[in-house]
Amino acid sequence: MSKISLGARELFYSCEGTGAPVVIFEAGLGDTSATWTKVQPVISQFTCTFSYDRAGLGQSDPAPTPRTCQAMIDDLAELLAGARINPPYILVGHSFGGMIARLFASQCAEQIVGMVLLDGSHEDRTTAFEKLLSDELVARNRAYLADPSLNPEHLDGGKSNEQLRNAPQQFDFPLAVLTRGLPDEPSPIWPSADLQRVEQELQREFLKLSPQSSLIIADKSGHFIQHDQPELIIDAIRSMLGK
């Protein structure tokens, strides 16, 4: 476990194991590298692994805000270079971390040999959700999204979504799409079941990103598949490693 300086600030990372390709873990919004404790040590038995805390989370220093996906992958590229973690890479992204993984791959496709998306966020999710929400809930949701200070990483969601929409995302490496099977707790306000159905439909759209894609339903998992069914992630990564 170490830190790398990015100008006046430092980012924390954990590099375990040896070998190639390097498996890079990208956590969801507001989550730290600790979310991978059931997966990273196992994969480190087969190859080099890399997880880290994004700016302002865990043991990493904050960065200027608001943040965007592009700023985050710029940090990741600088961090990998500083730590001398060389490609090829397999990217593993949970939730919002899947957006970072996809944007990184769109700009560095030649460095990527595989990707695993875990209940990955889609850039068109908000638009799709609004079709199911009342006017009051749409207004509340838009107010939240318009103010980056209300989310744990001060993310500018609108700009980040546009960055993904404008990025070339047609890949030629293995892609595993893992989708949770268990629903959220019912809500008296939000149409949770309908929103989850739409989100699963959007995640199926990821299968179009690569001719080598596969869908895995984590039937015993909620949103945090790495906590509930880590063996599914481990199997997907090992398949890409040929282990």
What's the CATH number where 216 sits?
A: 3.40.50.1820
Domain range for 186 is 2-241
pLDDT tens-digit profile of 36-84? 999 999 999 999 999 999 999 999 999 999 999 999 999 999 999 999 9
Q: What is the total count of domains within the chain?
A: 1
**pLDDT, position 243:** 85
- Residue 137 clears pLDDT 90, i.e. is over it: yes
Query: Do 4 and 44 contact (CB within 8 A), yes or no?
Result: no
Global pTM value: 0.96
State the number of CA atoms in the 13 A half-sphere of 87 facing the CB. Answer: 15
Mean pLDDT across the chain: 96
The percent of residues above 90 in pLDDT, for the chain, comes to 93
Return d(Cα 218, Cα 231) in angstroms, integer: 10
Tokens of 40: 């990273």
* Helix spans in the chain (H): 40-43, 69-82, 96-107, 125-130, 135-146, 157-165, 192-205, 225-228, 230-241
User: Number of helices (H) and strands (E), helices first, in the chain?
Assistant: 9, 8
pLDDT-based confidence at residue 22 (cuts at 50, 70, 90): very high
